[in-house]
Every structure is written in structure tokens, then in C-alpha cells.
């Protein structure tokens, strides 16, 4: 059994004038100790997929369905509020794209990390507080005591992002979902934080799902890559294969024109607009921008075909 198993995940948001189809049948898995990268342009459904997997989206408005949504053996769709609360932080934790959303503005950082620890483990307030400071020091915060005493709005974006990573790691989760965890940080600190996440991953045998636009981060941090477009998984392959031999025309375009893997190098913008999630194109969502599309691509979504060991893609050209 996989640590995280997602099959045929669909997430939509009904609106007054239609339905936003954010995720349209995504499937992938993550094993313990493994790092999975999720890439794809803005709006492709990366964040929504991860938030849905951890049941962090409010329902309603979100509508979630899947043939399988398992995290560490728990059926996340069947889990009730209590079960979800006991899993959060301890089994699965998430580092959010916007660090402000992770913290409650009315409590100090130290209090919030401490309470996360105390939610899952017997610890005095004082013990939890000093553990919080130790965690802050581990994410390279130089004055952990002062930061622990600060309220979220008193910290810079980069500092908050580090504090959020400390909080996410505070209960040693079995799997960490990290959504652009280092974007607000400068390159040196980014490297330190990624190093820390990798160390903890090895130490705890933690599974890692990393959403990023940064090709350097993908190359250095992940074992396998899932490429999303228009709410669908276009391709999935081991990281070397994604760079050396991308199979899907979208992946080829996304990885295109990279002279090297300098840190901070971002994925390429592809000409044309991304699909409207309230009115997605028929067939393959990439067909309107694909240089190799034909009539079949516009008519029918291609099946997922195996393209190598642990690799698959959804493209008519590969069938
Ligand atoms: N609460 C919501 N209500 C309505 N639509 C939403 C909601 N949350 C996300 N969406 C829509 O779902 C789609 C997928 O969004 P998502 O945030 O997952 O994209 P993403 O791949 O993470 O993009 P980015 O790289 O910009 O973070 C987008 O069209 C977005 O506007
Ligand atoms: Mg996102």
C-alpha cells in the first residue's frame, strides 16, 4: 500500500455563473521516504489537489470526489472531522503557498507551534514552547525566542515561511505537502531550507510532495515528477526521465529552452493562454496550444499509457 494514493480525484467549485473544474481526474501516489514533485503552470490545479487530498478545502463550496483518496491507510473521504483533526500535523502536514493563511493572526508564533505539538502529544506548555524555539532554530531563524514571541504580522514573508515549515515539521508527519515552500526566500536560505527538509525526510522516512516552479528545486529535491495541466495529470516520470526524455508535448514545452539548472530557474511560459476552468476545452486540455494536435486530440481525452518504468503520459501520439 502506498503512503498517499490518489485516484481519479475531481474537485470543482460551483459558482453563480457555472462550475470551476479545478481538478479533473488526477491520479498519483507517494511512498514513504519518497519525494514527488508537482509542476505545471498557474491554475493547473496543483494546490487544490494537495488541499483536497488533506481535506483542507471547505465543502461546500468545494465538491470533491475520487475513486481512492488514502493517506497512510486512512480513507480521507470517509474520515470525519475528529479523525481528520487527529491526522493533521501528525500524519500529514502542509506548508502553504501563502504563509499568512497557516497562522492565526491573534496568537504568537511560539504559542501556535506549541499548541500544534500539544494537540498530538503530552507536553507542558513550557516544554512545548521550548520545543517550538528549537524547531525555529532548526529552520535557521537566528533569534528563535524573539520570533516565538512575535505575532504573524510582525514577521517578514521569508521568516513566516520558515516558521510555517517549523510548524509543519513539529509533529514529525509521515508525509509533508509543501506548496512552493521556498519562493519567498533568497537563494541561500532556500538551499538551507531544502537541505533541512531533505535531512528530516531521510531521518523520519517521510514522504514529500513538493509543488514548485523551480527546475533547480525539482532536479535537486524530488525523485519523481507529476506534470499537471488543466486539472489533469499529463505525464508522470522519474526526475531524470522528465529532464532527459520528456514524452508529452506539454512537458517538452515546459522543460524547453533550459540552458542549465541554475538555482531559481523557473519553468518556461508557453505561448497561449491556459484553459478556462469553467469551460475547459474538449478532448486533451492542451490541444489548443499543442503544435502536434490533430482532430482526435480535440475530440477525445487520450488514455494514460505507460512510457517507461514508473512512467506514464496521456497523449494520443504515444498510443
Ligand atoms: N476556492 C476556490 N473557488 C473557486 N475557484 C478556485 C478556488 N480555489 C482554486 N480555484 C480555481 O481552481 C483552479 C486551480 O487552482 P490552483 O490554486 O490549484 O492552481 P495552482 O496550480 O496551484 O496555481 P499556482 O501555480 O498559481 O499556485 C484555478 O482556476 C483557481 O482559480
Ligand atoms: Mg498553487
The residue nearest atom 10 of ligand 1, judged by CA position, is 22
Mean pLDDT over residues 108-128, rounded? 93
Give the per-residue pLDDT at 259.
45
pLDDT at 143: 95
Higher pLDDT, 61 or 260: 61
Kindly give the pairing relationship between strand 4-15 and strand 68-71: antiparallel
Give long-range contacts, CB 8 A cutoff, 24+ apart: 112-121.
Answer: 112/167, 113/148, 113/163, 113/166, 113/167, 113/170, 116/89, 116/167, 116/170, 116/171, 117/170, 117/171, 119/85, 119/89, 119/171, 120/86, 120/89, 120/90, 120/171, 121/171
Check residue 268 and give its pLDDT: 65
- What are the cell numbers at 92? 500529514
By alpha-carbon position, which residue is closest to atom 3 of ligand 1? 13
Name, in order, each residue with C-beta under 8 angstroms of 166's C-beta and a sequence gap of 6 or more.
Answer: 113, 132, 135, 136, 138, 139, 141
Residue range 81-94, pLDDT digits in tens: 999 999 988 899 99
Nearest CA to ligand 1 atom 27: 42
Query: Can you give the length of the chain in residues?
Result: 319
Residues 88-102, mean pLDDT to the nearest whole number: 87
The predicted pLDDT at position 198 comes to: 87
Q: What is the pLDDT of residue 296?
A: 97
Sign of CA dihedral 129, 202, 207, 155: positive
pLDDT for 257 beyond 70: no
pLDDT tens for 282-304 read: 999 999 999 999 999 999 999 99
Find the 46 Cα to ligand 2 centroid distance in Å.
6
HSE, CB side, 13 Å, CA atoms: give it for residue 117.
Answer: 24
Task: Tell me, in angstroms, the distance from the centre of ligand 2 to residue 126's CA.
Answer: 36
Domain-wise residue ranges, the chain: 4-91+175-318, 103-172
| pLDDT confidence bin for 4, thresholds 50/70/90 | very high
pLDDT at 295: 96
CA of 280 to the centre of ligand 2 (A): 19
Cα separation, 222 vs 128, in Å, equals 32
Backbone φ and ψ for 171, nearest 5 degrees, come out as -110, 20
Half-sphere exposure of 153 (CA within 13 A, CB side): 4
pLDDT digits (tens, 9 = 90+) for 137-178: 988 899 999 999 999 999 988 889 889 999 998 988 999 999
Query: Which residue puts its alpha carbon closest to atom 24 of ligand 1?
Result: 42
CATH 3.40.50.970 fits 4-91+175-318, yes or no: no
pTM of the model: 0.92
Q: How far apart are the CA of 4 and the centre of ligand 1, in A?
A: 21
How far apart are the CA of 61 and the centre of ligand 2, in A?
18
Share of the chain above pLDDT 90, in %: 69
In this structure, the residues whose C-beta lies within 6 A of any atom of ligand 1 are 13, 20, 22, 40, 42-48, 97, 277
pLDDT of residue 265: 56
- Best residue for ligand 1 mutational test, from 16, 22, 44, 217 (most atoms within 8 Å of Cβ): 22
Residue % of the chain over a pLDDT of 70:
95
Q: How far is the CA of 22 from the centre of ligand 1 (A)?
A: 6
Q: Atom of ligand 1 at shortest distance to CA of 45?
A: 18
- How many CB atoms are closer than 10 A to CB 246? 22
CA atoms within 13 A on the CB side of 66: 22
Mean pLDDT, range 64-91, rounded to an integer: 95
For residues 77 and 68, give the distance between their C-alpha atoms in angstroms, rounded to a whole number: 8
* Number of neighbouring beta carbons within 10 Å of residue 137: 15
Q: Whose CA is nearest to atom 16 of ligand 1?
A: 45
If one residue of 13, 21, 43 were mutated to test the ligand 1 pocket, choosing by the most ligand atoms within 8 A of its CB, it would be 43
Segment 223-244 shows an average pLDDT of: 95
pLDDT class for 262, splitting at 50, 70, 90? very low
Query: How high does pLDDT run on average in the chain?
Result: 91
Least confident span in 116-125, 241-250, 256-265: 256-265
What's the gap in Å between 285 CA and the centre of ligand 2? 19
Average pLDDT over residues 1-14: 97
Of all protein residues, whose CA lies closest to atom 19 belonging to ligand 1? 43
Range of lowest pLDDT (57-66, 117-126, 209-218): 209-218
Amino acid at each position: 500500500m502506498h503512503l498517499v494514493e490518489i485516484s481519479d480525484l475531481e474537485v470543482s467549485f460551483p459558482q453563480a455563473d457555472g462550475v470551476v473544474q479545478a481538478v479533473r481526474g488526477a491520479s498519483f501516489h507517494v511512498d514513504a521516504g519518497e519525494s514527488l514533485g508537482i509542476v505545471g503552470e498557474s491554475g493547473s490545479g496543483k494546490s487544490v489537489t494537495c488541499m483536497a487530498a488533506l481535506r483542507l478545502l471547505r465543502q461546500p463550496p468545494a465538491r470533491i470526489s475520487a475513486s481512492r483518496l488514502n493517506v497512510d491507510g486512512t480513507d480521507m473521504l470517509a474520515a470525519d472531522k475528529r479523525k481528520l483533526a487527529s491526522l493533521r500535523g501528525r500524519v500529514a502536514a502542509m506548508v502553504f503557498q501563502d504563509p499568512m493563511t497557516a497562522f492565526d493572526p491573534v496568537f504568537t508564533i511560539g504559542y501556535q507551534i506549541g499548541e500544534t505539538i500539544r494537540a498530538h502529544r503530552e507536553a507542558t506548555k513550557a516544554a512545548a514552547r521550548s520545543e517550538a524555539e528549537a524547531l525555529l532554530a532548526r529552520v535557521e531563524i537566528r533569534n528563535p525566542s524573539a520570533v516565538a514571541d512575535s505575532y504573524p504580522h510582525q514577521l517578514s514573508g521569508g521568516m513566516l515561511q520558515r516558521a510555517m515549515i517549523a510548524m509543519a515539521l513539529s509533529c514529525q508527519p509521515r508525509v509533508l505537502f509543501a506548496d512552493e515552500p521556498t519562493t519567498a526566500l533568497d537563494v541561500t536560505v532556500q538551499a538551507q531550507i531544502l537541505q533541512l527538509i531533505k535531512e528530516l525526510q531521510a531521518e523520519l522516512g517521510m514522504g514529500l510532495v513538493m509543488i514548485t516552479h523551480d527546475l533547480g528545486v525539482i532536479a535537486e529535491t524530488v525523485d519523481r515528477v507529476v506534470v499537471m495541466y488543466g486539472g489533469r495529470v499529463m505525464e508522470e516520470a522519474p526526475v531524470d526521465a522528465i529532464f532527459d526524455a520528456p514524452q508529452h508535448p506539454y512537458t517538452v514545452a515546459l522543460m524547453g529552452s533550459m540552458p542549465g539548472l541554475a538555482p531559481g530557474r523557473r519553468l518556461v511560459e508557453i505561448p497561449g493562454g491556459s484553459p478556462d476552468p469553467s469551460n475547459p476545452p474538449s478532448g486533451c486540455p492542451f490541444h489548443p496550444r499543442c503544435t502536434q494536435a490533430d482532430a482526435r486530440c480535440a475530440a477525445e481525452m487520450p488514455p494514460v499509457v505507460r512510457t517507461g518504468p514508473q512512467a506514464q503520459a496521456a497523449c494520443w501520439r504515444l498510443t
